[in-house]
Amino acid sequence: MHEMSVAQNILEIVREHIPSGDEEKVRSIRLKIGVLAGIVPDSLLFCFDALKDGSPLHNATLDVEYISITSQCKQCGKTSALDYGVFFCPACSSADVVLLTGNELNLVEIELED
Amino acid sequence: MSIVTIERKILAKNDELARQNRELFKKHKVFVFNIVSSPGAGKTSILERTLEYLNGKIKIAVIEGDVQTDFDARRIAKHNVPAVQIVTRGGCHLDASLIQEALQNIELKNTQLLIIENVGNLVCPANYDLGEELKVVVASTTEGDDKPLKYPEMFRKAGVLIVNKIDLLPYLDCNIETLKYNARQINPKLIIFETSCTTKTGVGEWCNWIIKQLPAAE
């Protein structure tokens, strides 16, 4: 259940960037979460809602874009999409792959009502 | 509607503290590993066997993370090694700020090896860099041979796998070759040790590997 601490970090970052008088104007917070980031989406949404209620950020919702796993093979050089938990190059079967995406846990942007 | 662009890692604060910890370890030439597993895989027992083998040969300190109680720190203290207990009171992982706090009670300049025992959990600790050199994941034979496939994030991020409780293999439906194959499917670079804390099998190989990782003294 580290989703609670992730939700706390999200709120802290928003507070750092939005003047306190404008917090009620925050409508959506855009996140990018990789499927390998170890986040259970429903838990994160639940924790975020629990924390925002009664705070000036109570109008905010999370808008999550899930990022699938892609890799680059260091043997054949190809970029490929990988299935969850399989870390082999689909083109040449080499295990020498570098993950390009899938580990993201990023706050991208905040949308405010004018 | 107006947009404020942020483009920031959500755990950036933790990552920054972990970077500071790492710098401190480098400055004092301390080799640090973070030992993770599900509850009951044998992290503390491996630690005890490791201390028995290495204590007196090198200077060791331990940070113990537990959800509740200081039982583990008391087990470690019996080996006459400086041990600091972090009780997370429900928290499912250690983070870099908890380590920073614990470090106030450890004399790094008098330490060659710092072992951090994380909370028993194969999910949450994968996300929190503590500043360690590497993660050591423990999988015990009693948990079955499919564990790496169930927790790919942790096995992908670990540098070492210790397969523990190998003395129980004759009584279990666990194939150690399958377990190692599954782990290498997730992370081909894993260095694997096989241990039993009851018979002490494999403890020497593991400890001699640790000694080789220690930064050279000036």
Written in H, E and C, the secondary structure of chain B is CEEEEEEEECCHHHHHHHHHHHHHHHHCCCEEEEEECCCCCCHHHHHHHHHHHHECCECEEEEEEECCCCHHHHHHHCCCCCEEEEECCCCCCCCHHHHHHHHCCCCHHHCCEEEEECCCCCCHHHHCCCCCCEEEEEEEHHHCCCHHHHCHHHHHHCCEEEEECHHHHHHCCCCHHHHHHHHHHHCCCCEEEECCCCCCCCHHHHHHHHHHHCCCCC
Q: What is the mean pLDDT of chain A?
A: 94
CATH number of the domain at B12-213, please? 3.40.50.300
The domain at A3-68+102-112 falls in which architecture?
A: 2-Layer Sandwich (3.30)
Buried b / exposed e along B169-195 (16+ C-beta atoms within 10 A):
beebebeeeebbebbbbbbeebeebbb
Instruction: Calculate how close chain A gets to B154, using CA atoms only, in Å.
Output: 9
pLDDT of residue B156 exceeding 80:
yes
What percent helix, strand, coil does chain A show, rounded to 5? 30, 35, 40
pLDDT of residue B116 exceeding 80:
yes
Q: Which positions in chain B touch A5 (Cβ < 8 Å)? A: 91, 95
- Whole-angstrom distance, CA of residue B72 vs CA of residue B47: 10
Q: Which positions in chain A touch B91 (Cβ < 8 Å)? A: 5
Q: Which positions in chain B touch A114 (Cβ < 8 Å)? A: 1-2
Which residue, among B2, B6, B121, B185, would best test binding to A if mutated, counting the most A CBs under 10 Å from its CB?
Answer: B6
Q: pLDDT tens, B62-112?
A: 999 988 888 888 889 899 999 999 988 888 899 999 999 999 999 999 999
Is the Cβ pair B3, A38 closer than 8 Å? no
Domain extents in chain A? 3-68+102-112
Q: Which positions in chain A touch B156 (Cβ < 8 Å)? A: 36, 87
The interface predicted TM-score of the complex, written ipTM, equals 0.90
Domain extents in chain B? 12-213
Report pTM: 0.91
Is A16 near chain B, with CB under 8 Å?
Answer: no
Tokens 């597993």 — which residue? B37
Mean pLDDT of B24-36: 97
Q: pLDDT tens, B9-22?
A: 999 999 999 999 99
Is B89 near chain A, with CB under 8 Å?
Answer: no
